[in-house]
Amino acid sequence: MALSPGTMTLPGPVGVCPDLRQETFELPAQPFSVTDARDRVFERLLQWGFTPEACHTARLVVSELFTNAVLHTDSDRIGCLLYVADNQIRVEVRDQGSYASTPVLCFPRADEERGRGLQLIESLTQAWGVESAGLGLGHIVWAVIRP
């Protein structure tokens, strides 16, 4: 898999945890980046030996989180951190949004076409949450998948 310009892969930390695997990348905050992000995560988890089912789940989670960051923030770039420790997959998506509100789980009416992404995240993951990246620096939306 070829890396897009402006992305980097980091080796796992040495001496921290023997089964820790980690990768980070950054992509433009554009709709075409969603496909790149989900494919990178899927391929990396396959390389790390996860089942196709776990890889598909992670791909769907990344797709939803990246899509939310593209659609609902004023970011130029979106970052993703993928790491595995203790057989848990953690995905973090960081935006640069300068907005004050945070992503929240909502329950749209049956006739509404959007607004179910975080419900999907809730159903697919062991846990998820939102953290501030710092005042005016956007948010980190994370999810934990236990295969």
pLDDT tens digits along 37-89: 999 999 999 999 999 999 999 999 999 999 988 988 889 999 999 999 888 99
Query: pTM of this prediction?
Result: 0.75
Whole-number Å distance between alpha carbons of 109 and 48:
40
Note the pLDDT tens digit of each residue in 92-118: 999 987 665 555 555 545 555 655 556
Residues in the chain: 147
Rounded to 5 degrees, φ, ψ at 144 are -115, 125
Kind and range of the H or E run holding 36: helix 31-47
Task: Return the amino acid letter for 106.
Answer: C
What is the gyration radius of the CA atoms in the chain, in angstroms? 15
